[in-house]
Amino acid sequence: MTTTATLVNHQIRLASRPVGLPTRANWNVTSEPVGTLEDGGVLVKTLALSLDPAMRGWMNEGKSYIPPVGIDEVMRAGGVGVVVASKNPSFAVGDHVNAGLGVQEYCLISSAQIKRSGLIKIDLNVGSLTQWLNVLGMPGMTGYFGLMDVGQPVAGETVVVSGAAGAVGQTVGQMAKIKGCRVVGIAGGEAKCDWVVNELGFDACIDYKAAAPEGVTRWDAVREGLKQHCPKGVDVYFDNVGGDILDTVLARINLRARIIICGAISQYNNTTAVKGPANYLSLLVNRARMEGIVVFDYADRYHLAVAEMAGYLKDGRMKSKEDVVVGLNTFPETLLKLFNGENFGKLVLQVAES
């Protein structure tokens, strides 16, 4: 049995609340002994962490769907790891698990914390470690239930998704294709757009960063792209970005369209007020609906979505792409890739090889 008490655990803690983009000054790197494993507890060695846009919200003070990360607390993060010590009969050394591990090398989970941490065993025959952070993890669950439960797409309808090459976006688009919809992505950069069309099978993808023709704004160009690629209008819009893209899509929605509000990455680092969707009256004209989704509400059905999408991964109808960065200490800079759009696929921080 490993002596856990003397193992050193490196951690990233929130030092201060950022204004705008987080900087290294907002983080502290700390180290401390792992501590003692008590009866019923499990010690997990972190292998890889999920880096998500939602993290930015957790760094802010104030009421949200979960409490903010406290100052000096280890930064909250979901991750996959391996059990290296266990005093719990349900978990054996060597088991691979998924849980809220935090941005740290080891996570000591007491008996009382197991449920809250969401600790579950994962089967690497079903999906790879990083797929368990992507399509089989929180982003995949978010995309699946946001699209299927809130969006309720019908075969033949047109589904638009922003952040199309991101973790949630790739799930949404591929699921919508499988369900028989026309799927149009919005993403930043030619490489991402090409990938979702050529590899994932989207019908089209609009590059919102493309140089607009002379005399035309970037958003006019996106509007033209929507007109061209959604000739029958937009029935379902899955919004990961907010801001001008949300407004532009609102101008193209159909009667009884469904807009899933999953995030607003364009607004998370604002130092000024959030930009509300000026075209929201399109909801009135079109008797359309805009609805928020928080993935935790669907926890009792995750296993169903995992089973369905694992099948698609196996038979090749779904693909996944992860952008893996190595090194716990790179966390402060790696996180920023989400906000400048540098990540290509689900952003994963690899903490240990095995």
Name the site residues for its own copies (rule: CB under 8 A): 63-65, 242, 247, 261-264, 267, 273-294, 297
Query: What is the nearest approach in angstroms of its own copies to the Cβ of residue 1?
Result: 44
The strand pair at 8-14 and 27-33 is best described as antiparallel
Shortest CB 222 distance to its own copies, Å: 17
Q: Which is nearer to its own copies, 119 or 290 (CB)?
A: 290
Nearer to its own copies, 277 or 345 (CB): 277
- Dihedral sign from CA coordinates of 141, 139, 56, 207: negative
CB of 275 to its own copies, least distance (A): 7
Residues in Cβ contact with 160 at an 8 Å cutoff, skipping those fewer than 6 apart: 183, 184, 185, 186, 226, 230, 234, 236, 237, 238, 249
Nearer to its own copies, 230 or 310 (CB): 230
Checking DSSP bridges between strand 158-162 and strand 182-187, what pairing results, if any? Answer: parallel
Tell me how far apart the alpha carbons of residues 151 and 198 are, in angstroms, rounded to a whole number.
25
Q: How far is the CB of 236 from its own copies (least distance, A)?
A: 14
- Residue 85 or 265 with smaller CB distance to its own copies: 265
* Burial call 248-265: b when 16+ CB within 10 Å, e when fewer: bbbebbbeebbbbbbbbb
Two tokens, residue 226: 């929507």
In whole angstroms, the minimum distance from the beta carbon of 63 to its own copies comes to: 8
Residue 130 beta carbon to its own copies: minimum distance, rounded to whole angstroms: 26
Q: Which helix (H) or strand (E) holds 190?
A: helix 190-198
Residue closer to its own copies by CB (options 159, 265) is: 265
The smaller minimum CB distance to its own copies, of residues 41 and 153, is found at 153
